[in-house]
A and B are shown apart, each in its own frame.
Chain A
Amino acid sequence: MNKFKHKVFNVLYSMFAILSCVALGKVCAFYAPLLPGSLYGLMLFTLTLHVRIFDADRIKDSVVWGVKHMGVCFVPAGVGIMNHFDLIRQFGITIVMITFITTFILLTIVGLHYQRYANDQDENDDEGSHVS
C-alpha cells in the first residue's frame, strides 16, 4: 500500500513538474516570441532538473513511460493531411519528391558528419587510455 502511495505521489509530482514547465514556457513565448512555448518548456524542464529544483529520481519512471508512448499524441494532427488533398492533387508528386529527397540529404549529411566525429572521439579515447 505504501509503495502504491509512493507511486501515485511520483506520478502527480511529475505531472506538476511538467505542467509548470509548460506554463512557464508559455510565459517565455509571450515575452520573447522567437521560439514556441513547448521548446522553451523543454529547455526549462532540462534546466530545473539540472539545478535540482525538481527531483529527477521521482520523475524518472513516469517520464520514461510518457516518452515511450508520446507518439499517439501526434496522430490527430497527422490525420490533418486529409484537409490538404486538393493541394496534393494540384502540385502532384513534385512536393512529395522534393520533401523526400531533401530529407534524405539532410539525414545523410548530419548522420555521416557526426558519425565521423564520434569515430574520431572513440579513437582519441582509446589513445588516451593507452597513455594512462
Chain B
Amino acid sequence: MLAELLNHHLLSSIFAVVATIALFQFVAVFQRKLNAIWLQPMLVSILVIMSFLLWQNISFDHYFASSWFLNALLEPAVVALGFPLYQHLSTITKQWKSILLVLCIGAFIAIVTSFVVTMLLIGDYTIAVALALKSVTTPIAIAIAGQLDGNTAITAFAIILAGFFGALVGPPWLKFINVNSPKAQGLAIGAASHAIGTATVSNISYEHAAYSSLALIVSAVITATFSPFIINFLVTLL
C-alpha cells in the first residue's frame, strides 16, 4: 500500500517536473526562433500549466507538491546570482553612492505611491500594505506584510504581477525612453520586479544580471528597514 502510494507520488513528481521543464524549453526555443519578446517562457508556461490544471481539475496544491524539486532549486538559483554580482563587484563598489541613492528614491516612491493610491481607490489598509510591498522579493514582502497586518495573499499575488509586468514590459519600455545602459536597465528591473525580473534579464547579458541582483538585494534591505516607518507615517496623514 505504502509502496504503491510512494510510487504514485514519485511518478507524478517526475511527470510534473519533466513536463514543466520540457514546456519551458519548448517555449524558449520557440521564442528565440520567432524573436518574440512577448512569448516569455516563464509566463507562457504558467498560463499553459494553469489551464491544464483547471481543465483536468487538478488542485494547485497537488501540482505544487509534485514539483517540489523545482521549488527546492529556487534558493540555490537566487544564491547563484551572487556570481554575476561578484564579477562586477569592482565597478559596483566605485558607484555605490549613486546606486544606493537611486534605489532609496525608488523604494520610497514605490511604497508611497502604491500605498496612497490604494488607500484612495480601494480604501482598505490591508490591501494598501500588500501593494506597497509588491516590488520586493517574496519572502521579505510576506514577512513585512504579516508584521504590518497586511493581506499576505494579495501581497503574493501582486508580487507575481509586478514581477511579470516588469520582466515583460521593462526591457522594451526602458529602451523606448532611451535608457540603454545595461547597468541602468538591470537596476530598474531588479528594483521593480525582484527575482522574476532578474531571472528574465539574466538572459540578456551578464551585466544585467549583476546590476539586477544588486538592486534586488539593496531594495529588499531598504524596504525591510524603512517601510514600517513610512507606512505608519502615511497612516497618520491619511
Q: Using CB atoms and an 8 Å cutoff, list the residues of chain A in contact with chain B.
A: 18-19, 21-22, 25, 33-39, 41-46, 49-50, 56, 59-60, 63-64, 66-68, 70-84, 87-88, 91, 94-96, 98-115, 117-119, 121
Contact = CB atoms under 8 A, between A and B. Distances in A.
Nearest to A15: B76
B188 A111 contact: yes
B113 A111 contact: no
B196 interface: yes
Contact of A67 (B80, B106, B139): B80
Given A103-B135, A106-B191, A111-B174, A76 B70 contact: yes
A39 B74 CA distance: 12
Contacts of A60: 83
Given A107-B192, A109-B106, A22 B76 contact: yes
A70 B114 CA distance: 29
18 contacts: A25-B79, A38-B74, A39-B220, A41-B75, A46-B82, A75-B24, A81-B46, A81-B160, A82-B50, A91-B122, A95-B154, A99-B114, A100-B161, A102-B113, A104-B165, A104-B173, A106-B106, A117-B184
A36 B195 CA distance: 13
A59 B113 contact: no
Interface of B: 20-21, 24-25, 41-43, 45-46, 49-50, 53-54, 60, 63-64, 67, 70-71, 73-87, 89, 95, 98-99, 102-103, 105-106, 109-110, 113-114, 117-118, 121-122, 127, 131, 134-135, 137-140, 143, 153-154, 156-158, 160-162, 164-166, 169-170, 173-174, 177-181, 183-185, 187-189, 191-193, 195-196, 199-200, 202-203, 206, 209, 213, 215-217, 220-221, 224-225
A99 B215 contact: no
A49 B82 contact: yes
Nearest to A34: B224
B117 A72 contact: no
A56 B85 CA distance: 12
B86 A49 contact: yes
A112 B202 contact: no
A122 to B, nearest CB: 9
Contacts of B42: 71-72, 74-75, 78
A111 B89 contact: no
Contact of A72 (B70, B178, B196): B70
Contact of B118 (A43, A45, A98): A98
A66 B122 CA distance: 41
Contact of B157 (A34, A81, A101, A112): A81
Given A38-B78, A68-B203, A84-B157, A99 B165 contact: yes
A45 B70 CA distance: 21
A121 B78 CA distance: 30
Nearest to B24: A72
A128 to B, nearest CB: 13
A106 B184 contact: no
